[in-house]
Structure 1
Amino acid sequence: WTLACEGQEHLPYPYGFARSAEACNIDKPHLDVNERALGNPNTRDAEAARLDQRVPSGSFESCVSPYGVHDMAGNVDEWVVNESGVPYQSGSKGGYWGPVRTRCRPMTVAHYEMFSFYQLGFRCCANPEAAKDVPESDETTTPAAPSIDARVQENLELPGS
């Protein structure tokens, strides 16, 4: 995740060295949470929708990393593996739309893996070029998952590899 965000230059932000509120979906004012509405199963969805300030991925043309990955800063905080394992197995990176840290390296490790909230999400990744080579599937077969982009794969160290 970090390499995909900062690139080979180890940029602090996916788009460069200086923070820019215009580059990505960041620094929006924090909305006051109606705790009662959020805690009530009958009003929870409406309150979460009111608080949600996400935008469709790719909405900010300048919010792209050196590897061409969009929205690594802001928009939603993304679950990642916490390689140190302390205090939890997972953490979140990237920050969300609010006035929070949105650099490539910092990680929040304040939540158990079962935690969910309106500004937290995850990223699904695939190589679009490799996906072109996947044969059409029918109901009896499942295509293999596309490989990770070679530029990133050579720099990754996956557990057990």
Structure 2
Amino acid sequence: MGRTARPSLSERASEAQLTSAGLPRLSFATTADTPVEQLLAAGDRPLPMNGLCPPDMASIDDRFCVDKYEASLVEIMPDGREQAWPYYLPVEGHVVRAVSEKGVYPQGYINEKQAIEACGRSGKRLCKRAEWKTACKGPESKKFGYANERTPGTCNDNGKSGMSLYFGAEIAQGSAWTFDKMNDPRLNQVPGALAETGSHEGCTNGYGVYDMVGNLHEWVDDPAGTFQGGYYLDVTQLGDGCGYVADAHKAWYHDYSTGFRCCADVAP
């Protein structure tokens, strides 16, 4: 996927001890036997903020931090090494953590519980509903973030449909909308469907967050099982842009359209 190799967990832990105070670094437990056990034993680890957000996150009026980009994933191997996770595959049975990075395809095919865990492994958390909407609308509180009226194509909101391409006959028969078909790895690989993070440069606001409208639905931390913002085929059916809310799915549900981004608290 064009990413350079990432340092191991132990290397990142050592880096945290060497950097100057105040920089946002992750810390890791040292009582478990393996790097993965250390990571899982540590649980959610808040980033040391000192009133600031790390470079991959935007400050929302100094109240909380939100990832600038929709989450992509790295897989944590048993020996602690990390490798890029294919954005078009579900993550069941794998240990992954969230990354906020420009110019990569974000992760679909993920459910709310998995998103919560992936954020926690990066010292972050899933955004709350109100936080997500505030970040999406921007400091000027606009319906689509960039404006109060939608301009098609400013965000990735008019993409190609992989479901129509691969399952057109089944759609006509009413038999296409199954869990297996909607998790087909080919769907988000269709040219003109999913977009790389930050590639729609106008799809932002004064906070400097990208793609909160369109591209992928984004899970939020809500027991009702809620994702917001629409995706590359629809940003209006369940509300306009930042007001788009889908809350009819269980937290275990995922399909090609479900993604997420993380938030974090600002230290007092």
TM over 0.5: yes
Q: Is the 8 A contact 1:38 1:47 kept in 2?
A: no
How far apart are 1:48 and its partner, in Å?
Answer: 5.3
Please list every run of at least 4 consecutive aligned residues from structure 1 whose deviation after the TM superposition is greater than 6 angstroms: none
For residue 109 of structure 1, what is the amino acid of its counterpart?
D
What SS does the corresponding residue of 2:195 show, helix, strand or coil? coil
Are the equivalent residues in 1 in contact too, given 2:219–2:226 (CA < 8 A)?
A: yes
Higher strand proportion (structure 1 or 2)? 2
Consecutive unaligned residues in structure 2, runs of 5 or more: 1-131, 168-175
Tell me the TM-score normalised to structure 2 length: 0.40
Distance 1:17 1:111, change over 3 A: same
Among 6, 14, 17, the alignment partner of 2:145 is: 14
Between the two proteins, what is the percent identity of the paired residues? 31
Residues in 1 aligned to 2:159 and 2:192: alpha-carbon distance in whole angstroms? 11
- Counterpart-to-counterpart distance in 2, 1:92 and 1:36: 18
Instruction: Tell me the distance in 2 between the aligned counterparts of 1:5 and 1:18.
Output: 14
Which residue number in structure 1 is paired with residue 82 of structure 2? Answer: none
- Partner of 1:3, secondary structure, is helix
How does the TM-score come out when normalised to structure 1?
0.63
Residues 45, 38 of structure 1: alpha-carbon distance in 2 compared, 3 angstrom cutoff: farther
Per-residue CA deviation, residues 7-26 of structure 1 (Å, 9 max, x unaligned), is 23321011011101121100
| Pairs aligned (count) | 123
Q: What per-residue deviation string (whole Å, max 9, x for no partner) do you get for residues 60-80 of structure 1?
A: 111012211000100100001
Report the equivalent of 1:158: none
Q: Deviations over 1:5-51 (max 9, x none)?
A: 112332101101110112110022544152499737xx932355349
CA displacement 1:113-155 (0-9 Å, x = unmatched):
00010011011346xxxxxxxxxxxxxxxxxxxx54x9xx9xx
Equivalent residue for 2:231, pick from 90, 93, 96: 96
Instruction: Report if aligned partners of 2:229, 2:242 keep a CA contact under 8 Å in 1.
Output: yes
Give, as a single letter, the amino acid of the residue that structure 2 aligns with 1:104.
Answer: C
Gaps of 5+ in 1: 127-146, 154-161
1:52, distance to aligned residue in structure 2 (A): 8.1
CA distance in 2, matches of 1:113, 1:36: 18
Task: Give the structure with the higher percent helix.
Answer: 2
